[in-house]
Chain A
Amino acid sequence: QSVLTQPPSVSGAPGQKITISCTGSSSNIGTNFDVHWFQQLPGTAPKLLIFGDNNRPSGVPDRFSASKSGSSASLAISGLQADDEADYYCHSYDNSLGGWLFGGGTELTVL
């Protein structure tokens, strides 16, 4: 069981906006450690989507955005497209465990 909790699945229709939550605790997100987000398309390696809470690497569309408040973070995807279907993972450092953590992952289905 991950210390960073994500919903197992979310879905949305093309063009819609969805959000994926990542709930942590006072020893990780709540301590203001960075939250990063990764996208993993089927059968491929994860790809960095958001770093440092809300920064997009070069090449990531601005349809992807993220935010953080308290001990939680969220990833938003607007203008959903079929090729957004993937697993999404949040990632942060935990100073109680002394290492980095991934959330359990969220499977996005585009209806």
Chain B
Amino acid sequence: QITLKESGPTLVKPTQTLTLTCAFSGFSITDDGVGVGWIRQPPGKALEWLALLYWDGDKRYSPSLNTRLNITRGTSKNQVVLTLTNLDPVDTATYYCSHSRRRPGYNLYYYYMDVWGKGTTVTVSS
């Protein structure tokens, strides 16, 4: 059974850097065709895709946030870490991590998010 859990600070100040950890079980980030991604949702608004870390170390980022985001494997083999720099109140959101898998026979653009964590709420305020 695949499970994921997000953790991190609930309140951060503007201009600071946010570091979120996704702890998962039931799979390995190095399994062929697997990915771990991050998505956020501001209060009352739509989902926004942020980043994806592929099993082979390749990464993809939201073009609008590319310069502020970094996704890496954590110090533990069952963790993925997302950092978002230069925070602004508009970054206030619930942040989700997800397990992604590649459709058999397809390439890196054909991943889908099949299991999600419950999310962690982050407020950016001074």
Contact = CB atoms under 8 A, between A and B. Distances in A.
Interface of A: 2, 33-34, 36, 38, 40, 44-48, 51-52, 57, 89, 91, 93, 95, 97-105
Contact of B112 (A2, A48, A104): A48
10 A-B pairs with the lowest CB-CB distances in the bound complex, closest first: A51-B112, A100-B49, A102-B47, A45-B116, A105-B46, A93-B109, A36-B112, A97-B63, A104-B46, A48-B114
A45 B118 contact: yes
B47 to A, nearest CB: 4
Given A33-B110, A45-B118, A91 B63 contact: no
8 contacts: A33-B109, A33-B110, A34-B110, A38-B113, A52-B110, A99-B61, A100-B52, A102-B49
A91 B46 contact: no
A52 B110 CA distance: 8
Nearest to A50: B112
Interface in B74-126: 96, 103, 106, 109-110, 112-119
A57 B61 CA distance: 26
